[in-house]
Amino acid sequence: MANFSTLLKNRNFVLYSVGQAFSQFGDRLVQIVLIGFVYKRWPGSTFMLAKLFFFTVVPSFFISPIAGVYIDRWNKKYVMIASDMFRAMAILCIPLFFIHGESIVPIYIIIFFVFASACFFLPARLSVIPGLIPKEELLLANSASSITWVISGIAGFSFGGVLAEWIGIKNSLYINSLVYVFSALSFLSLVYYIKNKNRSAKPEPPRQIEAILKKSFLHDLKEGLKTLFFNRKMRFVAYIFFIVSSMFGAIYVVSVVFIQEALGSMTKDVGILGMSLFAGLLLGSYIYGRIGQGLPKAKVIFISLFLIGIFIDAFAIGLKTFRSFWLGGLSASLVGFFIAPIYVIANTIIHESIESNLRGRIFSSIGIVMNLGFLFCMFIASMLAEYIDKFWILIACGSGLLLFGIISILAGFLKRFTSS
């Protein structure tokens, strides 16, 4: 049976993981720096933080449908490189030209384009894995990829939180730009090829090749959406991602300001508690990668959602009632621990069920579904937080996930009971 050491012998997967690590580090660094930026200008405002993060999410609605089609046509390696370099240059513009300006509109525009570029990068990164490793190692590779994502996220959040307070927002953005350059250089060394079931088939006649090349953009877009909505497994993945993203959209900006108010710091404690979340993700990804191969996927997801809800409530109570940083950190790490199997399972289902020439569109479409739920609930929660204690919003979100998990588990038992 393959284990994690097998992946370390795969040069392409190692290079892919290094590039992914730098890119994820950059993504988390820019997030924590933006949190610090809002704190400096509008301390305690969940709505202003939500407005800034609005421009990190809204590009997916306009760009992802287009990106998914072209990712499936282009070389995914060069898509990732171009996206990293564009983000490096865009982030560099903020400290050079706009950080001290009176208007925040130019920063909104830059953030929009940075995350528009990410709409190309993320589906390409997720789609490329089956071209790097054998099919029987997909779950293991997704676990390893999640571990890499988590470790670099820990570094980005924790290092970024301290960095923003230590050297300031402007210098942190210079470092952020450089990190994306390192990511692009790692992907430059990657040797990627597409594994296609029809590789051994006879060459197509010239007329058929011409017909394939003339396939319209709308045809490709329709094909991707049709697969998403009419494939039972893809509907399930989209449904789960929508639920999780909606709840975490509601929690995200509220929890940031909740931590700042409870512990009295700009980004340091947000970064350290974020590190706890990512540490749990790391451990959860590793353990599930080792033992998850034979476990029922749907049951693992619903039990995980139930436990996530419990520990979100514990996180809120730990900081609000007991003012305990350690209880908050432990709860955050357990939330991360049980998030990990959900993402590993969902990505593995897509890799196992969808052909290479459709994955870009599927990942892009699911990204739209996730961001729709995230954005809507983020704004609703941020506006409610201006009038309702942030503690109760976190409790409501945790309790909602808890109830959803219980209902889904009971529904699964009932379905199996009636069918038997």
pLDDT of residue 199: 39
Rg of the chain taking only CA atoms, in angstroms: 21
pTM of the model: 0.64
In a domain, 209, yes or no: no
Question: What pLDDT band is residue 309 in, cutting at 50, 70 and 90?
Answer: very high
Residue 206: pLDDT above 50? no
In a domain, 368, yes or no: yes
pLDDT of residue 214: 46
Pair 212, 204: CB distance under 8 Å: yes
Distance, CA of 291 to chain centre = 23
In a domain, 199, yes or no: no
pLDDT of residue 220: 66
In a domain, 93, yes or no: yes
Q: CA-to-CA distance for 270 and 263, rounded, in angstroms? A: 9
In a domain, 400, yes or no: yes
Residue 150: pLDDT above 70? no
pLDDT of residue 399: 93
Higher pLDDT, residue 377 or 270: 377
DSSP label of 95: I
In a domain, 259, yes or no: yes
In a domain, 215, yes or no: no
Within 8 A by CB and 6+ apart from 217, the residues are: 66, 69
Q: CA-to-CA distance for 331 and 212, rounded, in angstroms? A: 52
CATH of the domain at 129: 1.20.1250.20
pLDDT of residue 217: 59
Give the total number of structural domains in the chain: 1
Least confident of 62-66, 72-76, 287-291, 400-404: 62-66
Q: CA-to-CA distance for 401 and 285, rounded, in angstroms? A: 20
Higher pLDDT, residue 392 or 295: 392
Query: Which residue range is the domain that position 104 belongs to?
Result: 12-192+227-412
Mean pLDDT, range 193-208, rounded to an integer: 43
Token pair listed for 245: 């993203």
